[in-house]
Amino acid sequence: MIRARIAADFFIILSIFIFPYWVPLLAGLFFLFYFRNFYEYLAVAFFLDLLYGGGVLRVYGIPFFLSIAALILYISAAVLKKRLILYG
């Protein structure tokens, strides 16, 4: 499992530099369900926020839009995983 996680991290880091912002975020969403406590997702969203928004710009008036969205998704995924029999 640890090897898969390292590979996932490597892919996500690489995709930040190569692909548009939504690729690492979508891939991360998948990994959120695949791995336990995928904290990397929050770090990726934070990195993208600082890179594209410089910490000063807003989307629909919300600062750190991606980080906040990632946190909501992370918590939702954790709650969902608790309720799904797949993760029993």
Partner 1 sequence: MIYRHDKKNNPAGKLFVLFIAVAAVLLFLFFVPQSARFTSSLVSAVFVAFAGPDSIPVKNIESYKALLSNKEDIIEKNKSIQFDLDEAEARLKEVEEIESENFALKEILGRKISRDITLARVIMRPSRSPYDTLLIDAGESGGIKIGSKVFANGNTLVGTVEAVYTNTALVSLFSTPGREFEARLGSEDISITLMGRGGGSFEAVVPRALPVSKGDSVVVPSLSRSIVGYVEAVVSDPRDPFAKIFILSPISISTLRFVEVEK
Residue 3 within binding range of partner 1, rule CB under 8 A? no
Q: How far is the CB of 17 from partner 1 (least distance, A)?
A: 4
> Under a CB-based contact definition with an 8 Å cutoff, are residues 46 and 65 in contact?
no
Out of 1, 2, 3, 61, the only residue in the binding site for partner 1 (CB under 8 A) is 61
Q: What are phi and psi of 55, to 5 degrees?
A: 75, 0
The residues that bridge with 58 in the sheet, in sequence order, are 63
Using CB under 8 A, list all residues that contact partner 1.
Answer: 16-22, 39, 42, 46-48, 50-57, 59-61, 63-68, 71, 74-75, 78-79, 82, 88
